[in-house]
Amino acid sequence: MSIQRLFFALELPAPLQQQLVQWRADHFAEGAGKPVAAANLHLTLAFLGDVSAETSQQLQQLASRIIQPGFSLDLDDAGHWPRPGVVWLGCQRAPRGLLQLASLLRAQAARHGCAQSAQPFHPHITLLRHATQKVALPPRGFHWQYDVSDFALFSSTFSQGRTRYRRLARWPLPSSSGA
């Protein structure tokens, strides 16, 4: 039986990935933590864990039935979680569309045996890992906004000391009228 480590996420556009990498380099000391590769920057909606091919197929079918308008995401917040050693970028006010999409995907995942964290959903993009020392965060005033028009399913593999994410499927979110 084929098992893959999977998660649903928002994929960041390549230009935004590059902007965030440059911003990170400009605002965090070199030894602050291990930078996440530009291609791996994403916003996780639902972590699925190790999933069989059959469960993956079922979850993909359910994802294809989600009808929800796209939304705008404003990345204007940053923080440091010392215990897991994560420096993150997120939004001060998560849009309702993001919260609804994550809730739908997490509920479907839980119904199919993919344990979900008891922690409330905190939308974020991991910028640095292994940041266990106190990290100086940049002053407020940073801001990136982009329109989210789809979500995707990714696999995660670790080999040769590197984590790689590969998009397996993508689903559109229709344009929202007036948003």
Residue 130: active-site member: no
Structural tokens at position 109: 């995942």
Is pLDDT above 60 for 178? no
Which pLDDT does position 155 carry in this prediction?
97
Is pLDDT above 80 for 110? yes
Which pLDDT does position 48 carry in this prediction?
96
Residue 42: active-site member: yes
Catalytic residue among 27, 42, 112, 130: 42
pTM for this predicted structure: 0.93
Q: Give the domains, in start order, of the chain with CATH numbers.
A: 3-172 (3.90.1140.10)
Q: Are 168 and 154 in contact (CB under 8 A)?
A: yes
pLDDT digits (tens, 9 = 90+) for 62-101: 999 999 999 999 999 999 999 999 999 999 999 999 999 9
Cα 70 to Cα 33, 98, 109, 176: the distances in Å are: 33, 9, 21, 6
pLDDT digits (tens, 9 = 90+) for 5-20: 999 999 999 999 999 9
Which pLDDT does position 61 carry in this prediction?
96
Q: Which residues pair with 152 in a beta bridge?
A: 9, 170
Mean pLDDT of the region 16-35: 94
Three-state SS for 58? helix
Using CA atoms, how far apart are residues 45 and 8, in angstroms rounded to an integer? 5
Catalytic residue among 27, 112, 124, 130: 124
Instruction: Give the residue among 15, 167, 169, 174 at the shortest CA–CA distance from 97.
Output: 174
Q: Which residues pair with 5 in a beta bridge?
A: 50, 156
Instruction: Give the residue among 169, 23, 24, 8 at the shortest CA–CA distance from 98.
Output: 8
